Structure 1
């Protein structure tokens, strides 16, 4: 058989095939690049549109907020117009300078800062727009055992209000009872109790309508250079009594049972909280311990039995530091415990008034001389 002849592609045909392949590759590459560019441009456009819409929304929100801030500022200034001539109106720049821009180093407690203004020290409380009620109440009260408001500031840039108070170098009663190594002696504790009682008597009996503080506790009792006490923080205070609220506020361990259960607001809820403060002064313990146990629930039975039994129970319950203090008489401590337990009665109608409490506390022989030296009037001593 004759062999079939081998067919070989010519050189020109091979070159032509290569050109076709290269052209196809270039075309595909260009298409790929174009697709990537188009995809990138589309993604960029999409991101740009989203960003522009977000900026428009932010601008609208900012305009609304500025309008709201302006509205609220005008409203607040109108509401407190009566006290504009009574208190100093600070500029926000003054307060920022006084606190180094509200630096953490100047923070006293939570949103309260220490600041130096015109060479004097002040406590500056940063608040949201709920300062109106506190300002309204503070402009009605004026008593030596209530913390004095010096002025306020409304920040035009945000929804914050600042209240400027007198500064207390000795801090809170809570810190002295539960944090300091140095202990308060019995006379100082008794004087503090009477100072607080006088402040509460004033807001309960001499304001119209009556003011209920609603947050009496050892952290809201501040001590001056002589360890004399003043009531602070009227942020939860309410004008008017015997009202019902569904919004329960306050600090567990100090809240009166009827307020916690039914929302009943009355001066007797302050009396209950004051009774817990008296227990803190006598025992040196916190109103609520780390396990959640409430101090006022531990006092049951302490004053049961005859006089010897009562004294023995009380010695086992009170602050050990006071047991070793020569000037502390058990009769005086017993008197304060009787008052405290009366304040803690489950039935608010059976709790004493602050007038009765001031009278009962002032009967202590330990303090009578001190009270006279401080120049308190016979009406304050006798509760009449």
Structure 2
């Protein structure tokens, strides 16, 4: 069985660096806890280069099939792999992304707060990454676990999508095995197991709400961020919605400069992504276009700067 799995993986990864297990043990000081980044991912040094090393069992094959078909600046790059048949482990070796998960930057109290322009740029970066896997990968790829802990920031605070461990090639499938992270899961997937690119769009909407509010996708008593975000934007009067938004949004955004119009536009994109009917959610092409039009003009937030929300054509 191991021989067959090795043949499959090697066939999948003929263009990558093949690392030896001893090399990775040395790189991580024996997979020492001091080298642990998160989950089963370790920081390691090989020949002066720093890598993120993900330790996996043999279920790595599906992830490998997807990774070898995608190549985009806003996706974390796979550099190589290692097979350890004795322990039945596979190690995926990725580029190391210096500033870690977006989740920590938004939700850890001891981190520097992100400006609105940085948040908006992060949103555009990951929207471009999702657009690539939805529109340009063949077959199309659904990430299925898009969330702030799977968005990594490099030394320039540019964003890359990570962790394709439960990603799915192909669209519009039905599964009985529901996986993902509570607070990000699209209703149609949770209810009926429908797998499509629109479930990633829903999760992207939740991430936008996190960027705007600084709040987690689900609070300590189980309240969903997307449900409260929809309530904030109920009604038709832009001025009322803008006042609610100012009370709800991350106070750290007030410390910099941004326009209320930009915030309202991005909030409108988020709400469109969260439509209960997946066919009425925008595509990532629409979203990238809308976010780029929402680029901040640098005005201070004030009651005089209430803008009207951008409407995404469906």
Same fold per TM (> 0.5)? yes
Relative contact order (C-alpha < 8 Å, sep 6+): which is higher? 2
C-alpha distance 87-301 of structure 1, shift in aligned 2 (>3 A): same
Aligned equivalents of 2:295, 2:72: Cα separation in 1: 25
Partner of 1:67: none
Aligned equivalents of 2:231, 2:102: Cα separation in 1: 27
C-alpha distance 82-148 of structure 1, shift in aligned 2 (>3 A): same
C-alpha distance 129-367 of structure 1, shift in aligned 2 (>3 A): farther
Contact 1:191–1:367 (CA under 8 A) maintained in structure 2: no
Contact 1:315–1:323 (CA under 8 A) maintained in structure 2: no
- Cα deviation digits, residues 231-261 of structure 1 (max 9, x gap): 0000000101110000000000000000001
Q: Secondary structure at the match of 1:200?
A: helix
Q: What does 1:256-271 correspond to in 2, within 5 Å?
A: 256-271=186-201
- Cα deviation digits, residues 92-145 of structure 1 (max 9, x gap): 100000001000010010211000111011100011111001111000000000
Match of 1:227 among 157, 164, 167: 157
Q: Secondary structure at the match of 2:247?
A: helix
Aligned equivalents of 1:367, 1:288: Cα separation in 2: 31
Q: What does 1:12-51 correspond to in 2, within 5 Å?
A: none
Matched, 1:343 2:260: no
Matched, 1:251 2:161: no
Partner of 1:308: 239
Bigger radius of gyration: 1
Whose helix proportion is higher, 1 or 2?
1
Match of 2:207 among 270, 273, 277: 277
- Cα deviation digits, residues 189-220 of structure 1 (max 9, x gap): 00000000000000000012110000000000
Partner of 1:77: 6
Matched, 1:92 2:24: no
Aligned equivalents of 2:144, 2:287: Cα separation in 1: 18
Report the CA distance between 1:168 and its aligned residue. Answer: 1.2
Match of 1:193 among 116, 123, 128: 123
Match of 1:128 among 57, 65, 68: 57
Partner of 1:374: none
Aligned equivalents of 1:240, 1:265: Cα separation in 2: 9
Match of 2:112 among 182, 188, 199: 182
Give the CA RMSD over aligned residues: 1.3
- Cα deviation digits, residues 159-181 of structure 1 (max 9, x gap): 11110001111000000000143
Aligned equivalents of 1:301, 1:284: Cα separation in 2: 17
Report the CA distance between 1:83 and its aligned residue. Answer: 4.0
Matched, 1:215 2:145: yes
Contact 1:187–1:367 (CA under 8 A) maintained in structure 2: no
- Cα deviation digits, residues 294-326 of structure 1 (max 9, x gap): 10011133222422211101101110111232x
Normalising by structure 1, what TM-score?
0.75
Q: Secondary structure at the match of 1:311?
A: helix
Aligned equivalents of 2:39, 2:297: Cα separation in 1: 35
Q: Secondary structure at the match of 2:5?
A: helix
Aligned equivalents of 1:97, 1:241: Cα separation in 2: 41
Gapped regions of structure 1 (runs ≥ 5): 1-70, 369-384
Partner of 1:35: none
- Cα deviation digits, residues 51-107 of structure 1 (max 9, x gap): xxxxxxxxxxxxxxxxxxxx22x2223223344431011111000000010000100
Q: Secondary structure at the match of 1:259?
A: helix
Matched, 1:115 2:26: no
